[in-house]
Structure 1
Amino acid sequence: MIVVIWNPSIRKSVSIVIPNVLPYSRYGYTLIGFGVCPDDTSHPKLVKINVNKIKIPYTWVVEVCTLSTRVWKTVYMGAPFKSCDLMWDPVYIDGIIYCHTVRFDERLWSNYIISFDLKREKFGEVSLSERLARAYDLVVAKVNESLCFLEYYNEGETSVCGVWTKKDGINKPFTKIYTVKVEGKSVLLGFRNNGEVVLEMEDDNDKGYAVEVYKPSSGDINGDGINGKYGGFSAVSYMETLLLLHESYSIIH
């Protein structure tokens, strides 16, 4: 597998070979994360986690590649947590990669959020309330550079998404800051700087999906004229940077 890191600000990219990738199956899989080390060097790093599910507890092999050295190194081998499945789409915030996991314990399941510190190259865990730990449909996300959780559920025919984050510091509990209620099937894609919510919504004629903008203050929904298939949209925040300016275009093995 080859991963391409591209910086659109300077129109430059670097290709990196990911070795020993496990195809997704009942026996295991590979998860890839990317972020920038929060120190004076600002080194970009790739993190690869190979999960082996053949035996319980599941065993992990964790490798890190730093662009400055262009070398993959193993930083962990073992079972850091009880048997759990890592979800896709990890989130990077301020030097830490967060990943949603579902853990099974005595026939019960719970949501857990695992963190990986790029500077220390160590695992951690985010504390969740009982409600979030037991939420049936929970998604980890980034809103305004902060860690958030999207809790999806239905109230009759209305699709509801609760947005949870920490408002007053890292040691405070997560609280709900938004409740998005819309008619029909929808997925929250992101937030504008003015607080408006960008949604992927099923259209009225059930012919496809469209990008819509929801205003929490009034509950109004306006279309942007962007249409497509379910799961075909994504929206992420970005920051202009000179990252990769001094990197060569060669493939990193």
Structure 2
Amino acid sequence: MWQFFLDFYGYAVFFYSLGLIISYVVLMILAYRGLFQSTDNMVDDYAYRVVERSPYTPGVSIVAPAYNEEKTVVDNIKSLLKQKYPKFEVVIVNDGSKDSTLETMITNFDMVPVDFAYVEYLQTKPFKRLYRSTNPLYEKLIVVDKENGGTKADPINTGINVASYDYFINTDVDCILTEDAIYQCMLPVMRHNNVIAVSGMMTMSNGCDIENGEIKKLAPPS
């Protein structure tokens, strides 16, 4: 009888200790994962704050060609201007559009032609003129008018000739960028001195509800 109680007590202590050890191991694994994830978030948050406040944050030019985009150009430009990055500009290159793309941009963004010393670092079709906005809301917007180059590379090269900053994002004017797109592109560049280019992921916006250049509701294309 006493042997039964001793065996029962021994097994109880063994399984209790085993369960306690397993629970401690599980808690350690969960704590490690939580600490690791929190550290990543803290690093990202710290990087965002540094980029936001530092006088050494590199500037970025968003260069986008526009050809016959009169129906969507206004919303798309507003989308590009919503970037949450302290130092950027948006360079829209009107590549000899045959519709009212240029006139639509001039009217909706209060653009006026300004004197500009255009230097052709990269050879392109002839540059015509450069426009800037009289509205402070669009001070980061630059519109370039040029003759049609027949390829996407030609207006992109014109935009690079005009760009004020060393880094540039090559996109289309009908693309909608997330508000932190520049951050996501520039953080790897600033963290590692051997990164010279970053690519993004593209998805279709057909079927989505878009308002003022911002996706309000995600939905797949029909």
TM over 0.5: no
Q: Whose radius of gyration is greater, 1 or 2?
A: 2
Higher helix fraction (1 or 2): 2
Higher strand fraction (1 or 2): 1
TM-score by length of 1: 0.22
Structure with the bigger RCO (C-alpha within 8 Å, sep 6+) is 2
